[in-house]
Amino acid sequence: MLSMVIDSISSFMYSKLLVIMLIGTGVYFTIRTKFPQVRLFRSACKAVMEKPDDEDAVSSFQALMVSTASRVGTGNIVGVSSAICIGGFGAVFWMWVIAIIGSASAFVESTLAQIYKKKGEDGTCYGGPAYYIEAALRCRPLAIAFCIAMIATYAFGFNMLASYNLQSTFASQPFYNAEITPWIIGGILSLVMGWCLLGGGNRIVKVTSTLVPFMGIAYILVSLLVVVLNIGQLPSVMAQIFKEAFDFKAIFAGFAGSAMMQGIRRGLYSNEAGIGSAPNAAASAVVSHPVKQGLVQMLSVFIDTLLLCTATAMMCLVSGVIPAKELQGAPWVQAALHKTLGSFGPYFIMIAMVLFAFTTLLGNCFYCDNLLTYIHKKQPDRKFMTGFRIVSALAVFWGAGMEMTLLWHISDVLMGVMALINIPVILILSNTVVKTLKDYEIQIQQKKNPVFFSKNIDLKQKTDYWNEKN
């Protein structure tokens, strides 16, 4: 019963409402900001390398790594596989589309997070959608609703799905028992995660967070190797992607499972553009102008979808292993790598999934700390946080043994709720971003290093930063 209800809600949200909102908003921001994805790409790359005056402050590059780390995870592997196995080759094209136009939404929401960021007692800065909703719209109840939606999405929906995705990579192993093994893996994962969250696993956290960037690079290199070894298949694969992407008769005949729908769903799950998660990381950076961090977060979307998701798609599609619904998720990726690289392939994916999933699980929970602080108006007491983290760890255990389709639908619905709150807000506040972008470009034309003051755009609301005294 629950599964049917959630499936119905998910189908409605992504067959009508969110498709229009995500694509429409992305196109609107792209046109309104005059195609920053192309026009300001060099500026974005330059902004990444800019260092703050205070050596202890969070740099643009560090904020980029935080937001990219939250985006990069099992969705880049399992999500892409599921999209193609259900929706066909054309899903890849629609993932590209949602990334390119969605990057404009990422630019807008991250710029807003910078404008309305708050100053902590220790001198650090923080913020996100909850803060620009309250500051600009003066609607704290809506801000709290967003916080609750994001906590439900990250601490539960995404983490339960990541747990399932991780255990599913072991399905090809001789010891795997579908009735028992998922619960065992989920139990081990939840115990290690709980230990780390409660302060006992600092070394594990440091090791995995160090290894993940190297694994990301290794993953891209392995993907390139597979493509090179099967280079003869690439022209036909690309042709099939574009052919199926524009097969509108097939799309509208079964829209819920179509290439367009699956590409949009899994693209959004992977890059998170417009749903309001990345602004929480964007607000932590110390920059001279809010637009700089907006441009940096635009790059993060490109890294996630146009680089990592494409790597997965091409690696699997050129292998010759035909995508099928029964192979969706890790099995298709493992089968594709096994065909090209032998036994090394499945083991490599298992290692990548363990590292990606573990850091994603921890990152998602730590993401929630700022949100809980906002709701309570102060740092929650130790007992509350301990209870929250135990419940989060139990959700990871539960997710490992749940049904895959249900978990995808739960994540889609929760993520959709975030988007339904955040997108109208950033549309309402888009004038502020357009003015801020104009201020940035005027200074660039004057060959200055852009420095922002709230008076430059006649900002009515008080901010903790961007005053001339700061």
User: Which pLDDT value is given to residue 253?
Assistant: 42
Tell me which fold the domain 7-451 belongs to: Amino acid/polyamine transporter I (1.20.1740)
User: Which pLDDT value is given to residue 418?
Assistant: 93
Supply the mean pLDDT for the chain: 83
Average pLDDT of span 54-78 = 67
Out of 261-265, 303-307, 331-335, the most confident range is 331-335
List, for residues 171-227, the tens digit of each pLDDT value.
878 888 988 999 999 999 999 888 887 775 555 556 555 666 777 788 888 888 999
Burial class (CB in 10 A: 0-12, 13-18, 19+), 469: exposed
- How far, CA to CA in Å, does 196 sit from each of 191, 206, 319? 9, 11, 38
Report the half-sphere exposure of 175 (CA within 13 A, side-chain side). Answer: 7
Burial class (CB in 10 A: 0-12, 13-18, 19+), 141: exposed
Report the half-sphere exposure of 313 (CA within 13 A, side-chain side). Answer: 30
Report the half-sphere exposure of 103 (CA within 13 A, side-chain side). Answer: 27
User: Which pLDDT value is given to residue 55?
Assistant: 66
pLDDT score of 433 more than 90 = yes
User: Which pLDDT value is given to residue 30?
Assistant: 94
Query: Which of 47, 26, 50, 109 lies closest to 296 in space, CA to CA?
Result: 47
Q: How many CB atoms lie within 10 A of CB 379?
A: 12
Average pLDDT of span 110-129 = 87
List, for residues 250-278, the tens digit of each pLDDT value.
454 444 446 666 667 766 666 677 788 88
List, for residues 136-169, the tens digit of each pLDDT value.
999 999 999 999 999 999 889 989 988 988 888 8
Q: Rounded to 5 degrees, what angle do the CA atoms 283, 358, 272 make?
A: 40
Where helices occur in 272-343 by DSSP H, the ranges are 278-282, 290-301, 310-317, 330-341
Between 197 and 341, whose confidence is greater? 341
pLDDT score of 90 more than 80 = yes
Which amino acid type is present at position 116? Y
User: Which pLDDT value is given to residue 197?
Assistant: 79
What 3-state class would DSSP assign to 118?
Answer: strand
Average pLDDT of span 15-24 = 79
Of the chain, the percentage scoring pLDDT greater than 70 comes to 86
Q: CA–CA separation, 264 vs 258, rounded Å?
A: 10
User: Which pLDDT value is given to residue 139?
Assistant: 94
Q: Which residues contact 13 (CB under 8 A, 6 or more apart)?
A: 412, 413, 416, 420
Q: CA–CA separation, 303 vs 305, rounded Å?
A: 6
